[in-house]
Structure 1
Amino acid sequence: MAGPLSGHHVAVLLGGLSSEREVSLVSGRECAAALERLGAKVSRVDAGRDLAQVLAKLKPGVCFNALHGAWGEDGCVQGVLETLAIPYTHCGVLASALAMDKAKSKAVMAAAGVAVPGGGLFERHAAARAHVMEPPYVVKPNAEGSSVGVFVVPKGANAPPQEIAAASWSFGEEVMIEPYVAGKELAVGVMDGKAMTVTEIVPRAGFYDYEAKYGEGGSRHIVPATVPPHAFEKAMRMAERAHAALGCRGVTRSDLRYDDVNDILVLLEVNTQPGMTPTSLVPEQAATLGVNFDRLVLWITEDAYARGGAGGTAS
């Protein structure tokens, strides 16, 4: 029996140039397999600097963008796809660039009434010499995902993390430093502008870092999250508002922290191309709503096709 994507040629963009390459390879592998089960002809494209030339030769009907991190998720690849007039999944140029810049996206979300942590950008060497705020606080690159390069500075710490001043640091000259919000790590997927559910993430070790996100058994997911009904509902509405304020489309994932002692909920960031790995949060949330992985991939792909022509320049 022919699948719903029979006769369609989909190029899956995976790998890429960022520090999140390995995660992208897994996301792309899973999505490509699902697209083939759905009947599509699939071209797997390890996205390098020659991406435009490769796609011009392949002439796919749509691109499934499974890239993560800089270049693939920050508006650059989206701009290439706009120029080639190839429909593509997830957010457009502006929303992708805005969401990747933590400082700018926090300002936009705060203006839309979404509670975000305080803090700001600091030159990395200055931030390594002395505490710029009283610990506990979090240090993170301004434009990376998957908790790459993130440090939690605990209360009473004698000095900031010296890694941010190292010659090997490759995440920019400014770092985002914000107060550490104690409590529960939450995530909310948003699909077609509507929140899916709330996941509570319980790392096996103290911090939800790269290994906890993608390592085998690195964290436990509780779906739905065990938070009070008012906090659950507030997390859903905050994620929807952030998605809209940044001009997002398709599927996104918002990361939040909930201080259950003081009943404080803040939204940390919006991920415009959420992971699609076996341990990823959005596929897990979709499954709880009765949408299996293949149907989720189908919806994301059809959403891109529905915009037609180019991917859309407005968002």
Structure 2
Amino acid sequence: MTLHVAVLMGGWSAEREVSLLSGAGVADALEQLGHRVTRIDMTREVAARLAEAAPDLVFNALHGTPGEDGSVQGMLDLMGLRYTHSGLATSVIAIDKVLTKQALVPHGVPMPGGRVVKSAELFGADPIARPYVVKPVNEGSSVGIAIVTDDSNYGNPIGRDVAGPWQDFEELLAEPYIRGRELTTAVLGGPPGNRALGVTELKPKTGWYDYDAKYTDGMTEHVCPADIPDVIADACKALALEAHRLLGCRGCSRADFRWDDERGVDGLFLLEVNTQPGMTALSLVPEQARHIGMTYAELVQAIVDEALQDGERA
């Protein structure tokens, strides 16, 4: 079936450039599949652009706010437009790391502890024992993350004038730092049901897996499938599927983990669930799809097919 698909990309979040790359890849794939495509770089006039285009479906290729936090989803719901990926309620919860913990931890999904602190508190004392991580409550793609250790350059306590996320965000989530390895698992929805595509280990060439390491070619080695024990791979897949289900994710999602390999399964922790995972040449979901024999275009079509089936959104 040939469709008219509006690909929504860009916007004004910290992840704008990545979203433009995701959107361009998706749009090209849709055209290769024979669909008619309208590319929309989101501005404040996005509702008017969409009303004018009147597409059969909106492919949401936005990353970060407002495309991933429920704002765009609510607008599309009000306009009566079908769209890919998760709906309003799921998006509101999944982008908020505290709400995600509240939704998943009571059901047995292991996540780090921690607490939300006012950034100004960091200048007086550490909120929890070092080493710890501070991150914005509502950002993705490792935007605004700092790892605070005894020998970090932030000071003790953290210096008020030292560059870090405390200068950009009034509140931050402080979590214990988990040593070990970075793992990620993509989940793809649709018939015959949700499926975990695989497990990838991410090995940054320098430092840790921050925004630059994610989106700069050559800065991170992707080991797909990850060279890990089967019990850990199975646990990643099971937890990613459970998180996808509990949060009510649609389309595809990506669950990010830290694994302390000295502790076995007890050392595996879910960090977050991304409801709008990247679709760039370096992105993890297309990479895992390739590993199971699915082309990029087939992945895009699968996401479109589920959105067409899913008339009611969470």
TM-score by length of 2: 0.93
CA–CA distance in 2 between the matches of 1:107 and 1:61? 35
Partner Cα separation in structure 2 for residue 276 and residue 303 of structure 1: 17
Displacement of 1:156: 4.3
What's the CA shift for 1:140?
0.5
Report the equivalent of 2:196: 195
> 1:275 & 1:128 partners in 2: Cα distance?
35
Deviations 1:106-159 (A, max 9, x none): 121101110000101101111243211111111110000111111111244443
Superposition RMSD in Å: 1.2
Q: What secondary structure, in the 3-state scheme, does the structure 2 residue paired with 1:266 have?
A: strand
Per the alignment, residue 43 of structure 1 pairs with: 38
Task: Provide the residue aligned with 1:243 in structure 2.
Answer: 244
Identity of aligned residues (%): 45
1:1-315 matched pairs, under 5 angstroms: 5-6=1-2, 8-157=3-152, 158-159=155-156, 160=158, 162=162, 163-166=164-167, 169=168, 172-192=169-189, 193-263=194-264, 264-308=267-311, 312-313=312-313, 315=314
Aligned partners of 1:275 and 1:282 also within 8 Å:
yes
Distance 1:19 1:134 in 2: 30
| Corresponding residue SS for 1:261 | coil
Which letter maps to 1:107?
Q
Give the AA of the match of 1:151. A
* Residues 145 and 165, structure 2, Cα contact 8 Å, conserved in 1: no
Label 1:128 to 1:68 Cα distance change in 2 as closer, same or farther (>3 A). Answer: farther
Question: Residue type matched to 1:216 in 2?
Answer: D
Distance in 1 (CA, whole Å) between partners of 2:236 and 2:244 is: 12
Measure how far apart 1:226 and its partner are.
Answer: 1.2
Counterpart residue identity of residue 205, structure 1? T
CA contact (8 A) 1:135 1:156 kept: no
| Residue aligned with 2:75, SS | helix
The runs of at least 4 consecutive aligned structure 1 residues that moved more than 4 Å come to: none
For 1:108 and 1:306, how far apart are their aligned partners in 2? 26
Deviation for aligned residue 1:304: 1.0
Size of the aligned set, in residue pairs, is 302
> Residue 199 of structure 2 aligns to a residue in which SS?
strand
Structure 1 residues not aligned, in runs of 5+:
none
TM-score by length of structure 1 reads 0.93
